[in-house]
Amino acid sequence: MNFFKGLSNRNRRFVLGGGTAILVLLFVFVNTTFLSDAEVAADAPKEFSLTDFAAKSLPLIAADIQAKAIDMAIVAEAVDKDIVAAGAEFGRDLGNKSFVFAVKTTAKVKSVDENFIILDVPGASAQDTFNIPVGLALSGNPLRDVTGTITFGDFYDQTQYQDAANALKDLVRSSIIDKLDLKTITGKTLEIYGAWNNGPLKNVYNIQPTSIVVK
């Protein structure tokens, strides 16, 4: 006896539908790869360590700056005339007329306060102010951006991208700024390598350092 002949049309549809569902489930099961706990752990995204990022990146950034740095007085003179032209010649274009520059100078310390080491940069215009930030103006953004090898796409989101810059800043503070004796540094000559990017303050050059040598 044919099994389906004894079923109503509704029940036939139910049986056929159920059979199809079972076949689909079997197909999914056969084509599914099951991972062990160890395999799942191995495939999981590795936790991003800001400390490791800064420790690995800062020496590479410093080496790149040392190889490419332009004298700060030359950069400042060009920027004072035309930031776009200066950026095209000496800097890296970040968009929206924002540029970052690898710079160097050997300059005497004019004075020190809680925010800045103020420099007397030889060959620079008297209208320009040159600082090494030691307070809130210390920033890792120019260091992150200056080489062009660290990009937004390297990070999970904007927050992590900014956290990476902050990690560079923190390492600069602990490995460079905190090792300076700010109480006795006035009048001494410093050899400085670092990065500078233009901002809203005209004629103010805050050099974010990657190397400071007291002469």
State the pLDDT at residue 133.
Answer: 98
From the number of C-beta atoms within 10 Å of its C-beta (0-12, 13-18, 19+), residue 108 rates as middle
Tokens of 182: 């700010």
User: Do 36 and 122 share a domain, yes or no?
Assistant: no
14 lies in which domain range?
7-43
Give the Cα separation of 74 and 62 in Å (integer): 20
State the pLDDT at residue 106.
Answer: 98
Determine, yes or no, domain membership for 2: no
User: Do 26 and 58 share a domain, yes or no?
Assistant: no
Going by the DSSP 8-state scheme, the letter that residue 179 receives in this structure is G
Determine, yes or no, domain membership for 1: no
Return averaged pLDDT per consecutive 10 residues of the chain, 215 residues in all.
54 54 64 63 67 97 98 98 98 97 98 98 97 97 97 94 98 98 97 97 97 97
User: Do 31 and 135 share a domain, yes or no?
Assistant: no
Give the Cα separation of 59 and 49 in Å (integer): 17
By C-alpha distance, which of 128, 61, 53, 129 is closest to 100?
A: 61
User: Do 159 and 198 share a domain, yes or no?
Assistant: yes
User: Do 207 and 113 share a domain, yes or no?
Assistant: yes
User: Do 101 and 182 share a domain, yes or no?
Assistant: yes
User: Do 79 and 180 share a domain, yes or no?
Assistant: yes
State the pLDDT at residue 8.
Answer: 59
State the pLDDT at residue 15.
Answer: 47
State the pLDDT at residue 45.
Answer: 52
pTM of the model: 0.79
CATH number at residue 63: 2.40.50.420
Domains contained in the chain, number: 2
User: Do 112 and 32 share a domain, yes or no?
Assistant: no
User: Do 25 and 103 share a domain, yes or no?
Assistant: no
User: Do 87 and 30 share a domain, yes or no?
Assistant: no
